[in-house]
Amino acid sequence: MAESPANTQALVEEIKQLKEEQDAVILAHYYVDAQIQDLADLTGDSLKLARDAVQVQRSTIVFAGVHFMAETAKILNPEKRVLLPSLEAGCSLAESCTAEQLAAKQEELRRQGHDFVTVTYVNTTAEVKALSDWVVTSSNAVDVVRRIDPKKKILFVPDQHLGRYVMQETKREMFLWPGSCIVHEIFSLQHLAKLKEQHPNALVIAHPECPKSILDQADMIGGTEKMRRFVMSLTEPKTILVVTDANMIHPLQKHAPQHQYVPVPGVSAETGALCELNRCPHMGLNTLESIRDCLKRGAPEIQWQPCFEAAQKVVVRSFLEH
Positions touching ligand 13P (CB under 6 A) are: 45-46, 123, 137-138, 181, 209, 223-224
**Three-class DSSP category at 216:** coil
**Nearest CB to ligand 13P, comparing residues 72 and 224:** 224
**Nearest CB to ligand 13P, comparing residues 43 and 290:** 43
Q: How far is the CB of 181 from ligand 13P (least distance, A)?
A: 5
**Whether the bond into 158 is cis, omega within 30 of 0:** yes
Q: How far apart are CA 32 and CA 65, in angstroms?
A: 7
- In eight-state DSSP terms, residue 301 is B
Q: Which residue is nearest to ligand 13P (CB)?
A: 223
Q: How far is the CB of 165 from ligand 13P (least distance, A)?
A: 12
Q: How far apart are CA 213 and CA 158, in angstroms?
A: 19
**Nearest CB to ligand 13P, comparing residues 30 and 81:** 30
Q: How far is the CB of 312 from ligand 13P (least distance, A)?
A: 20
CB 95 within 8 A of CB 118: no
**Three-class DSSP category at 59:** coil
Q: How far apart are CA 64 and CA 284, in angstroms?
A: 10
**Nearest CB to ligand 13P, comparing residues 251 and 265:** 251
Q: How far is the CB of 265 from ligand 13P (least distance, A)?
A: 17
Q: How far is the CB of 319 from ligand 13P (least distance, A)?
A: 12
Q: How far is the CB of 28 from ligand 13P (least distance, A)?
A: 11
**Nearest CB to ligand 13P, comparing residues 193 and 277:** 277
Torsion of CA 70, 45, 275, 209, to 10 degrees: -100
**Nearest CB to ligand 13P, comparing residues 181 and 315:** 181
CB 248 within 8 A of CB 230: no
